Chains A and B, each alone.
Chain A
Amino acid sequence: MSNQQTVKFYQTGTFTVGNRLLAPEDRSVQANMQRTNSLNSGHRACQGCGEALGARYAIDAAMNATNRQLIAANATGCLEVFSTPYPETSWQIPWIHSLFGNAAAVATGLAAAMKVKGKNNVRVVAQGGDGGTTDIGFGCLSGMFERNDDVLYICYDNEAYMNTGVQRSSATPGAARTATTMPVGAEPGNVFGQGKFVPAIAMAHEIPYVATATVADLRDLEAKVTKAMTIHGARYIHILVPCPLGWGSASHDTIRLARLAKETGLFPVFEAEYGELKSTLAIRRQVPVEDYLKPQKRFAHLFGKTPAVDTIARIQAQADRNIRRYKLLEGV
């Protein structure tokens, strides 16, 4: 890794990497010319992939926080497939992919190995998509939480099974079109179930640290990963990562949509410790959910000739409920 060239700035001057006016020690990890670039360029993610961005942000921050003593276990999914087409790999860190539903358990094994080998400085992250986390990997995830294993689990939530062609997962929002929830019939798009917000379920395990973040707020994301790495035991970070392909959005809208998800209240950004809410990222400028929904083709059927006002109101109600529950206007 030592002979690796220093990174170029891909997004000079944007909201996400704008650090020029800060003292060097206050700059984001991504702004550092010496950042690891853990997920290096050359991978095969779609243009504007939020997951690729989120993974690089998160893992670079974790590398920075652990003095580069990090191992990652990865669930099957887009991130795994686009990063490691044999014989190439984009990973600049020790990395293992085992299965779709076992990343948390593989990470538990890795953490146990590090402990028994006396490598206490080497830390372990597990990562997976929403499907690999909230559905098929949920048993292993819950087990890892309950045992309080020394693992940071990061979920990159793009709200569907993208790698297999955009099917619904338990993280897919109501009304969203996916390949298995087509916008046809009496209730077009995904049905409104009871919801399965895994950060809240993680909190119910009372693990030391739970946080949510989006790729729109680099500093917040980095700070949370950095904080997570100062803590031992089970930790969970759930990052909203827009997917241009699955959401039917423009590649250049990834950051904007992530920000709108937060600014509408649809995706609450917060931190919790031992099951208790500790801080929220307050909404800066509240916007109605339409602003978030409209740029995404997966919600296009809501805005046809006769807009689905009831459905939109239902989505707005979800946002309002989040705003109340997580005190998103005033902040915690």
Chain B
Amino acid sequence: MLKQCEGSHAVAEAVALCRPEVICAYPISPQTHIVEGIGEMVKSGELKNCEFINVESEFAAMSVAIGASAGGARAYTATASQGLLFMAEAVYNASGLGLPIVMTVANRAIGAPINIWNDHSDSLSQRDCGWIQLFAETNQEALDLHIQAFKLAEELSLPIMVCMDGFILTHAYERVDMPTQAQVDAFLPPYEPRQVLDPADPVSIGAMVGPEAFMEVRYLAHAKQMQALERIPQLAEEFKAVFGRDSGGLTHTYCADGVDGNDGAETIVIAMGSVLGTIKDTVDEMRKPENGGHKIGVLGITSFRPFPLEAVRVALANCKRFVVLEKSLAVGIGGIVATNVRMAVTGMGLKGYTVVAGLGGRAITMKSLTGLFDKAGRDELEPLTFLDLDWNVVNNQLEREKLVRRSGPAAEAMLRDIGAVAARNY
């Protein structure tokens, strides 16, 4: 059914359609509306057979989910930013134990400085935690990915983060096609745990493992992600058969796959999440003959973990250069997504550019992208670019720190320099 609603609301409804059995809630912007929505459904009786638990921290949220999942229940929670870091120890534990928890990450920057706005630092900081990470481009895809996530997680006994851009998606009102309960039921079977705590058949879960088997247990986690690499495209097909639309998969290409009459892309822009929309609009404009007919295409990465090395290689097979535009920063080296992409294209002889953009909610405009892609097309881009970085502010501060020992808190000084009033914190 088509409806106009907030992204968070769409996700809440989709999660409810997946018949979750235990939901843990702890507030953090921009994730709050999702669990609030589900909480109301549970309290009103609309969502039956579900325990909604208001926990005292994100660490508890993930821990309750761990217990629930080990007890054989379908468990869900949502978080963002500081919340994801606060639960980090339990995040690793959930995947280490092989518990198929599904969690929405409403992507948000990590402090300090505290910042509630969108970037991908939070989930990408957990890239090696063993969870599958799927990034939604639109609210429709966010909704759909949750339904796929429960199925994939439970098949593989692996937890999954469905990542959606905080505010940009979570708080955006868009049209979505909300599936029916019958459709979801047809796609997603009841949870049949691989391991469960049951007095009728007692097992110990979470034993101490020493050097004699630790490598093997960890390898198994990798092997499962490799299985996911195969299952994710299949699941997207199965999803299409039931729901009638394309959603999910490992990657999305745009003007870069040779099938929409737009092949010959020499420059391919790689990104994750909602910014793909702005990028595609920019590419549409730039491809127009009157705008120079730039040979440029797009590769969206939906599955960041497992990382689709092969799919990236295939997508970049015929281009000359790639630009990774990412909302994350690997301090001390540059890009996180870019590092992964470079691994995929090893030996392909491509020029590659890393662009760090949109940190802490900095707007990524078509104007800036146009200039950026134009420069990239002429191979005039620096290997590492910080899009729309105000060098004056940065240089001022660096200068200040050179001159005065007690230069004070940097963020506050820089805010003063640009004359900004402090952003609101939630």
Q: Is A202 part of the contact surface with B, judged by Cβ < 8 Å?
A: no
Q: List 9 A-B contacts (CB under 8 A).
A: A84-B204, A97-B207, A101-B59, A108-B55, A110-B197, A115-B51, A117-B72, A139-B56, A143-B60
Using C-beta atoms within 8 Å of the partner chain, give the interface range for chain A.
35 or more
A-B contacts besides A99-B93, A105-B66, A110-B197, 7 pairs, CB < 8 Å? A94-B202, A97-B204, A101-B89, A106-B70, A108-B67, A140-B60, A143-B57
Pick from A73, A84, A113, A147: contact of B208, CB under 8 Å: A84
User: Are B21 and A69 neighbours in the complex by a CB distance under 8 Å?
Assistant: no
Evaluate contact between A105 and B55: CB separation under 8 angstroms: yes
- Contact: A143 with B22, CB < 8 Å? no
| Contact (Cβ within 8 A) A96 B198 | no
Give the interface centre of A109, A113, A140 by most chain B CB atoms within 10 Å. Answer: A109
Q: B210 near A: Cβ within 8 Å?
A: yes
Q: Are A86 and B208 CB-contacts (below 8 A) given A91-B202, A117-B72?
A: yes
Q: Which of B47-77 contact A (CB under 8 A)?
A: 49-51, 53-57, 59-60, 63-73, 75
A105 and B210 in contact, given A112-B22, A147-B53 (Cβ under 8 angstroms): no
B66 touches A98 (CB 8 A): yes
The reply to whether A106 and B57 form a contact with Cβ atoms under 8 Å apart is: no
Partner of B51, one of A92, A95, A116: A116
Q: Taking the complex as formed, is B409 at the interface, i.e. its CB lies under 8 A from any CB of chain A? A: no
Contact B202 A109 (CB under 8 A): no
Question: B41 at interface (Cβ–Cβ under 8 A)?
Answer: no
Query: What residues of chain A have their CB less than 8 Å away from a CB belonging to chain B?
Result: 1, 68-71, 73-74, 80-81, 84-89, 91-99, 101-102, 105-117, 122, 139-140, 142-143, 146-147, 149
Please report the C-alpha to C-alpha distance between residue A143 and residue B56 in the assembled complex, in whole angstroms: 6
The answer on a CB contact under 8 Å between A96 and B206 is yes
> Which A residues are CB-close (under 8 A) to B65?
109
Contact, CB under 8 Å: B202 / A93: yes
Q: Are B197 and A98 touching (Cβ within 8 A)? A: no
Cα(A91)–Cα(B65), bound, Å: 23
CB <8 Å contact, B208 and A85: yes
Interface residue? B404 (CB, 8 A): no
In the bound assembly, the distance between CA atoms of A108 and B67 in angstroms comes to 7
Residues of A within 8 A of B59 (CB): 101-102, 105, 139-140
Q: In the bound complex, do residue B22 and residue A113 qualify as a contact, i.e. CB atoms below 8 Å apart?
A: yes
Interface contact B206-A97, CB-CB below 8 Å: yes
Chain B: residues with CB nearer than 8 A to chain A? 21-22, 24, 49-51, 53-57, 59-60, 63-73, 75, 89-90, 93, 97, 197-199, 201-210, 212-213
Given known A-B contacts A96-B197, A117-B72, A109 and B66 have beta carbons under 8 A apart: yes
Q: How many A-B residue pairs have CB under 8 A?
A: 165
CB of B56 within 8 A of CB of A142, answer yes
Decide yes or no: A110 and B89 within 8 Å by CB, A94-B199, A142-B56 being known contacts: no
CB neighbours of B64 from chain A (8 A): 105-106, 108-109, 112
Known A96-B197, A139-B56; judge A112-B68 contact (CB<8 A). yes
Instruction: Give chain B residues whose Cβ lies under 8 Å from the Cβ of A106.
Output: 63-64, 66-67, 70
Instruction: Give, as a whole number of angstroms, the nearest-CB distance from A62 to chain B.
Output: 12
Taking a contact as CB atoms under 8 Å apart, the answer to whether A122 and B199 are in contact is: yes
Are A114 and B202 CB-contacts (below 8 A) given A87-B213, A98-B63, A106-B66? no
Most chain B CB neighbours (cut-off 10 Å) among A81, A89, A146: A89
Bound together, the chains give a CA A74 to CA B202 distance in angstroms of 15
Cβ–Cβ contact A140 & B56, under 8 A:
yes
Complex CA gap A70/B24 in Å reads 23
The answer to whether A96 and B70 touch (CB under 8 A), given A86-B209, A140-B59, A140-B60, is yes
Task: Give the docked Cα–Cα distance between A297 and B207 (Å).
Answer: 32
What CA separation (Å) do A85 and B207 show in the bound complex? 6
Q: Are B199 and A113 in contact (CB under 8 A)?
A: no
Chain B's closest residue to A38 (CB) is B202
Rounded to whole angstroms, the CA-CA distance of A316 and B267 in the bound complex is 80
Q: How many angstroms between the C-alpha atoms of A142 and B67 in the bound complex? A: 17
Instruction: Give the 9 A-B CB pairs with smallest separation, nearest first.
Output: A109-B67, A113-B71, A143-B56, A105-B63, A97-B206, A102-B63, A109-B68, A106-B67, A113-B73
